[in-house]
């Protein structure tokens, strides 16, 4: 479970748990991952992804690269 800091280090706004969309352009293809768990500042919109989630995103990206996927859209939630 993600530890949620109370204030954004950038603008001091309130941080809440939410979801975001992660996209990466591999030049040979595009990967879009929806419903990625993240911490999001309600004031400035800055987003942070937990390390374990980032590892999952990296695995999805590596799998798509290995398969020469041109477009892949997946959901984590």
Residues with Cβ within 8 Å of residue 13, at least 6 apart in sequence: 7, 41, 42, 43, 44
pLDDT digits (tens, 9 = 90+) for 11-61: 999 999 999 999 999 888 899 999 999 999 999 999 999 999 999 999 999
- Which residue in 62, 61, 43, 49 sits closest to 20, CA to CA? 49
Domain boundaries, the chain: 19-37+49-75
Residue 4 has a pLDDT of 67
Residues with Cβ within 8 Å of residue 21, at least 6 apart in sequence: 32, 33, 34, 35, 36
- C-alpha 16/C-alpha 12 separation (Å) is 12
Residue with tokens 């990466």: 24
């Amino acid at each position: 479970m993600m530890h949620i800091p109370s204030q954004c280090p950038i603008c001091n706004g309130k941080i809440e748990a939410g979801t975001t969309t992660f996209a990466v352009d591999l030049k040979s293809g595009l990967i879009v991952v929806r419903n990625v768990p993240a911490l999001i500042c309600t004031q400035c919109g800055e987003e942070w992804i937990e390390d374990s989630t980032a590892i999952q995103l990296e695995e999805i990206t590596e799998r798509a690269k290995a398969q020469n996927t041109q477009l892949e859209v997946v959901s984590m939630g």
